[in-house]
Chain A
Amino acid sequence: MDFLILIQVLDSTLRLATPLLLVCLAGLFSERAGIFDIGLEGKILAAAFVSAAVAYTTGSVWVGLLAGIGASVMLSAIHGLASITLKGDQIISGVAINFLAAGLTVVVAQAWFGQGGRTPPLQSGGRFEPINFPGAIPSKEMADVGPVMQLYSELLSGHSLLVYVALLTVPLSWFVLYQTRFGLRLRAVGENPAAVDTAGISVVGMRYAAVIICGVLCGIAGAYIATALQASFTKDMSAGRGFIALAALIFAKWRPWYALGACLLFGFFFAIDNRFQNILLPAWSLSGVLLLTAFGLAGYVWRKDLLDKIVLGGLGLGVAFVSVLIVASAWSAGLSTQIKIPVVFIQSLPYILTVVVLAGFVGKAIPPRSGGVPYVKEK
C-alpha cells in the first residue's frame, strides 16, 4: 500500500513537472543564447488560452496545440524585436509580455465565450487523452497487483502524449546544444557574441532562432496545461509556472539534464503538497534542523564583516527563535509530539532553494556571460 502511494505521488510529480520541464528548457535555449526571458509565464498563459479556445472551437486538440504554439511564438517575436533588434531592456520586455498575456487572455476569452474569462470545458477530441500502454490496468484495480505492475500501469503508462514529448525534449535539447553546429553557435552567442560575429555568423539570426525555439516550447507547455493537465482555460492558470521554471533553470545551472532533475524535484514538492494536507514531524527533529541551520549561519558569519553579521546573523536568530517556539509549544506534550509543517512552506521551497543557489552558498550558478546584454558591434 505504501509503495502504491509513492508510485501515485511520483505519477503526479511527472504530470506536474511536465510543463515546468518544457518551460525550463524553453528558457534554457533563450538564456543560453544570451536573451533573458522573464516573459515565460506570459507565453505559457497565452498558449494555454489560445490552444484551449481553438481546440474548443475546432474540436481538434492538434489544431489547438498549433495555435497555442503560434500565440507563444508571436510573443517571442515581440520579445526578440525589443531585445535583439531594438536593443531594449530584456527584463522590462519580459515583464510587459507577462502583463500583455494576463490581460489579453481574459479580455478575449470574455469577448469570445462570455464566461468570465474562461473557456468552456473541452470535450473529448479537444483535449489530450492519456495513452495507456498495452496491458496496463486501470487505477481502481491498482491495489490488487504487484509493485512492478503498479509501476508500469500507474507511473509509466497513462500519461498524455505531451508528457512523453517533454521527457524526450531533454535528450533532444542536450543533443542539439552539445552535439550540433547550431548548438555550438547558440552557446557561443550567449557567452561571447563578438566571437560568433567575427566568425562570420549572424548574432541576430542565432538569437532570433533561440527565442523562437523558446516560444515553441512554451507553446507546448501552455497547451499541455489547458488541454491535458486540465480541460479548459481559466484565468491566470499558468499560476507562476514560468517563474518556477526560471528558478529551476538557475537551479539546473542552465543544463538540460540538470533541468530534468530540478523540474522533477519541484514537481515532487507540488505533488506532495497536493497529496498530503498534513506533513507531520516530531518536534525535536524539526527544531533540531532549524537549530543546526542557525548554528551554520552563525558559524559562517563569524569572521565576516558587519553587514554579513547583521543580515545572516539576524536570519539565524530568526530561525533559532522559531526553533525555540516549536520546543516551547511542544514542551508539555513531550518533544516527540508531531508538529505539522505548514503547507506554504512546501509550496515556497522551490523559491527558497533558488535563492539559496543564487546566493552561492551551495553550488554557485554562473549564468551565460553575455546574458541580458544586447549585442553592439565594436568598432
Chain B
Amino acid sequence: MTNNPAIELKGISKAFGPVQANRDISISVMPGTIHGIIGENGAGKSTLMSILYGFYKADAGEIFTDGQKILIPDSQAAISAGIGMVFQHFKLVENFTVLENIVLGAESGEFLAPSLRKARAELAELAAEYELNVDPDAVIEEIGVGMQQRVEILKALYRKANILILDEPTGVLTPAEAGQLFRILGRLRKEGKTIILITHKLREIMDITDTVSVMRRGEMTATVKTSETSPENLAELMVGRKVLLSVDKTPAQPKHQVLEVSKLTVVDEAGVRRLKEVSLNVRAGEILGIAGVAGNGQSELLEVLGGYRSATGSIRVNGSEIDLTGSSSDGQSRRARGIAHVPEDRQREGLIMDFTAWENAIFGYHRDPNHQLNRFLMNNAAIREETAAKMARFDVRPPNPNLTAKNFSGGNQQKIVLAREIERNPDLLLVGQPTRGVDIGAIEFIHKQIVALRDQGKAILLISVELDEILSLSDRVAVMFDGQIMGERDPLKTNEKELGLLMAGIISEAKE
C-alpha cells in the first residue's frame, strides 16, 4: 500500500444560482480509515457527495484517488473509480431480489443467468469476508431496513468499491441495527476499505471515525483527528458559536388537565405497531416535550392527535372523549375542539405550496363561518385583509398575502403556519419539528411565540428530534423509543446522556 490518500478533494466549489453550496472544500482521507463529515442540515454535505458521485459537476476543484487525478462526469465514472455510495434513501428496486439488485448495472454480459450465477458465488465470498450475510433470493420489500442497507453496501462492494460513502446511514435504523452497521464498517476498515461517513450525529462520529471534518454553510471549517477532539468542540464548530439555545422563560404554572392520552396504539397499513399503548397528559400552561430519534412513533402520535390516523385507546381533550375510529374523526372536527397543529413537514402538509399566503392562512379553518359570506361563498377580501395583519404581527417577509407559499423562505413559511395555528387561540397546540430548516433568527422568534402561548395558559405538546430544542423549551420531557414512552424527566434535572440512554431504549421505565 502506498502512502497516497485513498481519496483527496482539492478546492471543490459549487454554486446553485446565488447560493454557494460548497466553497473551496479540501479533504484527504487515508486508506483503511473512517472519515466523518459532520454538519447541520443544509451545510452542503449532500452537495459534496453528489459531486463525488457524478450527479453534479463542480464549478472548480480537483479529485484524486490514490494519487491519480480523476474526472467524475457521471455515476458510471464514480463506480469505475472505485467509489461506492450508500444513499440515505436506498436506491433499490423493491420487487427485485437481493441478487437482481446487486447485479443491476454491473451485469457480466447480455444474458442474465450467467451474471446471476457469478454474483451468487461472489456474494457468498463477500459475505464470508465481511460478515455481511444476506439471503440472495429474498425480495427487497420483504426484508427489513437494516438488511436493505446491507444490500446497498454489498452493491458497492460487488462493484469493487474501495471508497465507501454513507450518507446519514443511521437515520432509519434502530440502535441495534446501527450497532450492527458500525461493526460492519469496522470490519471493512480492517480489510483496508476507506469509508466516508456523513452524519449530523455527534455520537456516531465520536464512536467510529478516525478523522472528522466539520462543514458549515458550504465551507469546511475544520478537519481534526477524532481522538483529539470532543463532542462539545465539534458542536461548536458545526454551529459556529457556543451552543446556547436557551430561551428566556419563567417556570411553568400548570393548571387543569387539557390532554389525556391513554393506551394509544397504532397499527400501520403494513401491520406494524407504530405506537404501543402510549399514555401521556399535558396540562394548561405547560410544554410537554417529546424527544426521540426520528421514526420511533412521534409522527404517528401527531397524526393521531391531529385527526388523520386512526388508533385504538383513548384521547380526552378538556375532559371529553374523542372518537378515534377514523370515520368521524378528522382534522376539522379536531380544530373545532380547540386543537391546533403545526405539522412536522410544513411543505408537504402544513402548507399548499401553490396556494397564496392568504389561502394558506385559513387552511384547515376554511369552513369556519367567520371566513364566509354565506353558506356557499367565502369572504376572500376579508381573509386577505386579516392575513396581511397576521403577517405583519408575525413578521413574515415579504408581508404580501397574494404571494404563493413556495416563494417564501423556510422560516417565513413556518411563521405563516404558526400564525395560522396560534392565532386561533387553541386550548392545545401540537407542534412538530418547529424549526427544521429554519434560519437562526426565525428560530428565536418561533421559540418565543411558543413560550408566549404557554404563558397564556395553553397546553403545548412539542415533538422535536433536536434535543437542544426540547431541553430549552419543555417544562417536562418524555422520551419515545420504538413506539413507547420510555420515561419522563425534568429538563432541569436531566442531561443529554441520560436522555440519550432513554432514546436508545437502553434504560426504560415504561410501566403498564
Contact = CB atoms under 8 A, between A and B. Distances in A.
A178 interface: yes
B106 A199 contact: yes
A194 B94 CA distance: 12
A42 to B, nearest CB: 31
A182 to B, nearest CB: 7
B92 A192 contact: yes
A179 B117 CA distance: 13
Interface in A168-192: 178-185, 187-188, 191-192
Nearest to B74: A200
A53 to B, nearest CB: 38
Contacts of A280: none
A201 interface: yes
A194 B55 CA distance: 12
B187 to A, nearest CB: 24
Interface string B60-104: 000000000000001111110000010101011111100011011
A180 B113 CA distance: 8
Contacts of B78: 200
Nearest to B87: A198
Interface residues of A, number: 25
B3 interface: no
Contact of A196 (B53, B103, B104, B111): B104
B265 interface: no
Contacts of B85: 198
A309 interface: no
A184 B100 contact: yes
Contact residues on B (Cβ < 8 Å of other chain), bracket: 35 or more
B412 to A, nearest CB: 22
Interface string A190-227: 01101111111100000000000000000000000000
A66 B76 CA distance: 36
B93 A191 contact: yes
Contact of B93 (A180, A192, A305): A192
Contact of A195 (B50, B74, B76, B92): B92
A29 B89 CA distance: 27
Contact of B111 (A181, A192, A369, A377): A181
Interface in B302-340: 327
A195 B89 CA distance: 10
Interface centre among B75, B92, B105, B115 (most CB of A within 10 A): B105
Given A178-B112, A184-B107, A185-B105, A369 B94 contact: yes
Interface in B93-147: 93-96, 100-101, 103-107, 109-113, 115
A369 B94 CA distance: 9
B112 A180 contact: yes
B46 interface: yes
Given A178-B112, A181-B109, A188-B104, A377 B55 contact: yes
A192 B112 contact: no
A303 interface: no
B199 interface: no
B95 A195 contact: no
Contacts of A377: 55
Given A181-B110, A199-B79, 13 more contacts: A180-B111, A181-B111, A188-B104, A191-B95, A192-B94, A195-B104, A198-B75, A199-B75, A199-B106, A201-B104, A305-B327, A378-B89, A379-B47
7 contacts: A181-B110, A198-B87, A199-B104, A200-B79, A201-B76, A369-B95, A377-B55
